[in-house]
Structure 1
Amino acid sequence: MSSISTSNDSMHGVYLTGHGGPEVLEVRDDIPRPAPGPRDVLVRVGAAGINNTDVNTRLAWYSKGDGEAEDASWSGQPIHFPRIQGADICGEIVAVGANVSNARIGERVLIEPCLQEHDGQNLASAWYIGAECDGGFAEYTKVAARHTHAVDSTLSDVELASFPCSYSTAENLLTRTQLAKGERVLITGASGGVGSAAVQLAKARGAHVIAVTSAAKADALLDIGADEIVLREQRLADVVEGNSVEVVIDLVGGPQWPELLDILGHKGRYAVAGAIGGEMVELDLRTLYLKDLSFFGCTVLEPEVFPNLVRHIEQGNIKPLVAETFALADIATAQEVFQQKGHVGKVVLKVCHD
């Protein structure tokens, strides 16, 4: 293994010590620094973004059980504590395993958050970095080399850390639905990290974008490419012509859900990757089969998604939206700001400083 100095085997970071409120986030300076396995790389983390998965995992929101949180991770498995969260990671490769080229040392990379390999083994089902294994809320993280993507950009680490989770999720939604140039797409939760990413990526495909948001955030979404704004309190039928939309990208769910299907046209495509407005919805099966609709639940990234995202970044097709930046030690405050949903774009933590 080629590596950095081993004079100090500890690192600064944040442990998630259990399920609960911000009190379970423990800032430490004595966390053991990970060592890469033969097919891994060690990444010095420059910045790490906050996303819904971090908060949902902490709160055991993914659990469908009786509160025991035995299925509280992305994969439906228990979380092993302490855990280092953080899936939005930008950093630099500083060490490599025996089976990884030394030429990769020094690469500036983004980490693909959806993992197919861990500790040299191919996974039967995808893991999420920062949930099933340790992530980026610490000075260093290790990950399979195949999940690190070199990025050539003048953007800062903080700006680049706003991309991995939100933008790859958005690109995956658009890839799965095969959104095409000239099609009309409606995006719920458009001011959030995934929503604002979807607006930009849909425009990059040449689509007509209808963004659902609040009045306070409407101008910001128009600035990044939305063609039309629908306010959250409006009935979709009052402002969007029925059967006029080819694709719905839903990040909210909740009571308004049946209206999303009403605006879809024949062979319309609906994709979902969030349920912050409510996870239980009512489906009229007649709408589903009479319109020949297709539904897509989107979690695991298609193989082409992350390389396509890096290409969009390097070509300047999309821009980072960083709402606020905090020091890693202020993670509890940062997550509180994130949960208030008063921002457009991402909340990012600075981890290592040059």
Structure 2
Amino acid sequence: MSDAIPTTMAAVHLRGFGGTDQLEYVTDAPVPTPAPDQVLIRVAAAGVNNTDINTRTGWYARDVTGSSADAAGGSQSGDEGWAGALEFPRIQGADACGRIVAVGADVDPSRVGERVIVTTMQTAYSTEPLSTTVFGSEYDGAFAQYAVAHTDETYAVDCDWTDVELASIPCAYSTAENMLHRIELGAERVLITGASGGVGHAAVQLAKRRGATVIAVAGADKADAVLGLGADEVIGRDVDPAERFGESSFDAIVDVVAGSFFGSVTRLLRNGGRYVTAGAIAGPIVELDVRDLYLKDLSLHGSTYQPPEVFANLVGYIERGEIRPLIAATYPLERIVDAQDAFVAKHHVGKIVLTIPTGT
């Protein structure tokens, strides 16, 4: 490791499950050393995502059945993380944008200096089919001045975007693109829930890129912003889509909400329609009329594992100028509590991003 790289850094440690009091900003965390197949990244910006809050609160535990907003420390049952128990302290942060400053012994040294983003759903260390590990959950992530990642999970990007814009991409946009990839969305009529959030606003743009007619669900105060992203129509959360458009009105539904909304999914989809989900912010326990499922030949898809082409395609969209994120607000890393409070309040449209200090 170069002499120019310090031995300690600023970072945010998650000390345990619970509220924001479990987040501790420190300036003496050890700078990680890249393993032979890893790169060391000087982080410039890091996005805030639902998974950061859900992991902190332990919402992924099986016996937590309420909405993500209701979770407060999980169940302490040992399965609160994406892949089971977490080790503390953990440096969270699923979104990283920065520059490679050092490489492991097996990595081409010419990678030093590249501006990169890091995949969130990683497969480099997975041993089971369709399994994934999450950057900033099973491994330390981007809420720090430096982070390490497998070289295959680290993508160079050549564009004129700011670091903040690039840092908004990895988690939200790959989640959205993977959902559309999973259901092979084309020039069809699609309903997108949670359209003002990180994944939702990405899904609107990415669906329009595919030629879809997009009906988006968002609060009335956010409708203009979502229309500006390309949605053809925005309806409020209090509107019943079946009453507004009629039953069997959609070829596909892209959902991150679940909860009570899920009960209308099978009525809204046309014969052969597809539903895909990558979240359940309104609650994971839902009702399903199985008769509609089989009588209408519907397909229901969960979406977590991402084949490599999903992230590679995103980099291509960025470099060709086919998408552009909407940044709602930025906060310095030491104000992570304020950033997460703003995120949970859901008054924003687009992404909230943390900027990382250049010195300890």
Judge same fold: TM > 0.5, yes or no: yes
SS at match of 1:281: coil
One-letter identity of the residue aligned with 2:207: A
Distance apart, 1:243 and its partner CA: 1.2
Secondary structure of the structure 2 residue equivalent to 1:247: strand
**Contact 1:60–1:69 at 8 Å: present in 2 too?**
no
Change (3 A) 1:336 1:294: same
Cα distance per residue 1:221-248 (max 9 Å; x no partner): 1111000112110111111232121110
TM-score by length of 2: 0.94
Match of 1:82 in 2: 89
* Counterpart residue identity of residue 47, structure 1: A
Report deviation, 1:65. Answer: 3.9
Alpha-carbon separation, structure 1, partners of 2:357 and 2:134: 22
Query: 1:1-354 residue pairs with structure 2 within 5 A?
Result: 3-5=1-3, 8-65=6-63, 67-75=75-83, 77-118=84-125, 122-124=126-128, 125-181=131-187, 183-353=188-358
> In percent, how many aligned pairs have the same letter?
50
Q: Is the 8 A contact 2:277 2:302 kept in 1?
A: yes
| Aligned CA-pair RMSD | 1.3
Aligned equivalents of 1:60, 1:298: Cα separation in 2: 20
Cα distance, 1:352 vs structure 2: 3.6
Q: Is the 8 A contact 1:172 1:305 kept in 2?
A: yes
Give yes or no for contact 2:266–2:289 (8 Å, CA) kept in 1.
no
Runs of 4+ in 1 over 4 A off after TM superposition: none
**Structure 1 partner of 2:71:** none
5+ unaligned residues in a row in structure 1: which ranges? none
By how many angstroms is 1:47 displaced?
Answer: 0.2
Distance apart, 1:218 and its partner CA: 0.6
Q: What runs of 5+ residues in structure 2 fail to find an aligned partner?
A: 65-74
Deviation at 1:153, TM superposition (A): 1.0
How far did 1:265 drift?
Answer: 0.4
Q: Whole-Å Cα distance in 1 between the matches of residues 252 and 63 of structure 2? A: 33
Any conservation in 2 of the 1:254–1:275 contact (CA below 8 Å)? Answer: yes
Structure 1 CA distance for aligned equivalents of residues 190 and 246 of structure 2: 13
Distance 1:53 1:256 in 2: 21
More strand by share: 1
Q: What secondary structure sits across from 2:352 in the alignment?
A: strand
Q: Deviations over 1:258-285 (max 9, x none)?
A: 2122110011000001111111110010
Structure 2 Cα separation of the partners of residues 107 and 303 of structure 1:
20
Provide the aligned length of Structure 1 versus Structure 2.
347
